[in-house]
Amino acid sequence: MQANDKKKILFIINPISGSNQKEDLPQLIKDNLDHNKFSFELIKTEYRGHATELSKQAVADKLDYVIACGGDGTVNEVAEPLVHTDIAMGIIPNGSGNGFAMHIGMGRNSKKAIHILNEAKQHTIDTCLVNDNFFINLAGVGFDAQIAYEIDNGSKRGFQLYFSTITREILKFKAQPFTIKSDKQLDQGKYTIIAVANAAMYGYNFTIAPKAELSDGLLDIVLIKEAGLIKTLASSWRMLNSSLHKSSLVEIIKSKKVTITTEHPSYYHIDGESRKFESELHFEVVPASLNMLFPKSSQLVS
């Protein structure tokens, strides 16, 4: 293959996310990427939002692929400028939870992910908006948004921090009343979590939306009703075996759009990043809007 026939890749690396602090990712890329197929550049982000700027420049430069190297927040930042372009996005999972990367089959191992990218196949997936803000994986309100706020305002990451924060917050958390208006129904009540999902999991294999599909043109709205602590904990472990939808506390609605309102706004999250919830939240799916690189063996795409 001639040099000018190689696919041009930009690797956008978040140097402070997850395992990037513990491994030499640039060297792993240099050692394991197929240089017969690809020419590449590596750039490390320097501040929140920098990945979006770099991704925008990749669009202007008409590159072939942009690879997000980080966690769900980095994936979100990289993906937004690539919507409705010809550029395909890939992921090397280097965050704490890596929910979206896990969902599409990229795993948690950087070296393996690079080898997967060498043989990856391309497929168009849906993306989402909430109040015109982009997201690709999950957004929502309730307990998970409270956890996102606590984590965002800390200086550390990792499973131990998530576990300790959840343990602390669940003892004092109070479910709030919400109104949820989807395409075909209106729901009202107190909910522990309302997750609006494009993909299935938060990270660490915690699956909140087991039936979510990336290319069905629909959001999965997961309503987890208020219950006592013991019953809530008993249902929450269903996330580890993708059976949450079987819980009596859970209802899942598929819809193109949904509006969530409450008289007690606090926080919501977008792909794990905390935001202030001050008014109605309007969610909608953007069908077939992003080209994504999947493992060659993936069953998620045809």
Domains of the chain (ranges, CATH numbers): 3-119 (3.40.50.10330), 133-286 (2.60.200.40)
Kindly indicate the confidence band of residue 21, based on its pLDDT and cuts at 50, 70 and 90: low
Indicate whether 76 pLDDT > 90: yes
Would you state the pLDDT for residue 197?
97
pLDDT digits (tens, 9 = 90+) for 121-180: 999 999 999 999 999 999 999 988 888 887 766 555 556 666 677 777 777 888 999 999
How many CA atoms are closer than 13 Å to the CA of 178, on its beta-carbon side? 31
- Cα dist from 10 to 65, 70, 144, 196, 267, whole Å: 7, 14, 32, 30, 34
Helix, coil or strand: residue 57: helix
Average pLDDT of span 87-100 = 91
Indicate whether 278 pLDDT > 90: no
Average pLDDT of span 56-72 = 96
SS (H, E, C) 68-133: EEECHHHHHHHHHHHCCCCCEEEEEECCCCEHHHHHHCCCCCHHHHHHHHHCCEEEEEEEEEECCE
